[in-house]
A = this chain, B = another copy of it.
Amino acid sequence: MALSAVLRPGHVGLRVLDLDAALKHYRDSLGLIETARDAQGRIYLKGWDELDWFSVVLREADAPGMDYMAFKVLNATHLARYEAALKAFGCKVECIPAGELAHCGERVRFDSPTGHVFELYCEKEVYGNGMGRQNPNPWVEGLKGMQAQRFDHCLIYGDDLDGTVKLFREVLEFDLTERVMEGDLMVGAFLCCSNKAHDLALIRHPEKAKLHHVSFLLGSWEEVLRAADLISMHDISLDIGPTRHGITRGRTIYFFDPSGNRNEVFSGDYTWYPDHEPITWTTDQLGRAIFFHDRQLNEKFLSVVT
């Protein structure tokens, strides 16, 4: 257990096949707010209740997937401390100058044993949640679609799970909240830098650098139903749900963006504290761990990644 100066998942860079179709999906169906475009044609979005300028960056590319996942760090002192520790751990570290992503300060980019690219940064301009910081309302009217509140976490797939878990626990001071064990082998790991059941999750998988899903937070199980209805009304490809996870207790639904990147919207995990013993799931209970209601493994859910 530790206190991490990593605050939260700050943004994710996603590759999409068709930028217009992706924008329609993330803005009109998920209900993210478009906040910027840049000279490279990238589109920036955020959940309505996020304060920083963006949390999703869409880039048109030939194949879907995740370019990078970035975490916001408390301040420059901690950022420098983590940068040094990442180098000491053996990561390949690169500094991306401020402004390369619009409205964002310098980013410390690093690779990981599972082949995923991560970033740390401590500065991003404030866009606001539309309510101001003086005498605010509790929510804003006129939101679209699922009205996703914020980018919450990613689940990624990769080979050297132990290595990336070690990196996040030892260097970035994340907690292990839950884990899936196949005998002595950890096949799933749920990590947090805060009081959530997960800020990052990993599944062991033969290929490097795969994305399973990008997840966004909703406010209630009733909003999960509303999202489920919209998935059908907007003719979005449903993966699975609405249902409950055993792992994290989340109430959830999964679907695909037009490029095949899997999304989740969910509500309602528990409050994690670093003095808690991690929860362990054994693979003989894996069906129940993943989908608590039907308790069956779903090949498509387990194997389709981008």
- A residues sitting closer than 8 Å to B (CB atoms) are 1, 3-5, 7-8, 49, 51, 72, 74-75, 126, 133-139, 141, 150, 194-196, 219-222, 225, 228-233, 238, 241-244, 246, 249, 251, 253, 268, 270-271, 273-282, 285, 288-289, 292-295
Contacts and interface: CB of A to CB of B under 8 A. Distances in A.
A152 to B, nearest CB: 9
B229 A139 contact: yes
B244 A275 contact: no
A233 B281 contact: no
B136 A279 contact: yes
A137 B136 CA distance: 35
A272 to B, nearest CB: 10
B238 A225 contact: no
Nearest to A292: B232
A135 B288 contact: yes
Nearest to A269: B138
A280 B134 contact: yes
How many chain copies does the complex carry?
A: 4
Q: Which are the 6 A-B pairs with shortest beta-carbon distances?
A: A138-B249, A135-B285, A195-B195, A228-B293, A222-B222, A134-B280
A134 B238 contact: no
B293 A242 contact: yes
Given A139-B229, A228-B244, A134 B7 contact: no
Given A137-B229, A232-B292, A242-B242, A74 B280 contact: no
Given A72-B275, A138-B244, 14 more contacts: A7-B274, A49-B270, A74-B275, A126-B277, A137-B229, A137-B233, A194-B273, A195-B196, A229-B292, A229-B293, A238-B293, A238-B294, A242-B242, A253-B293
Contacts of A141: 230, 233
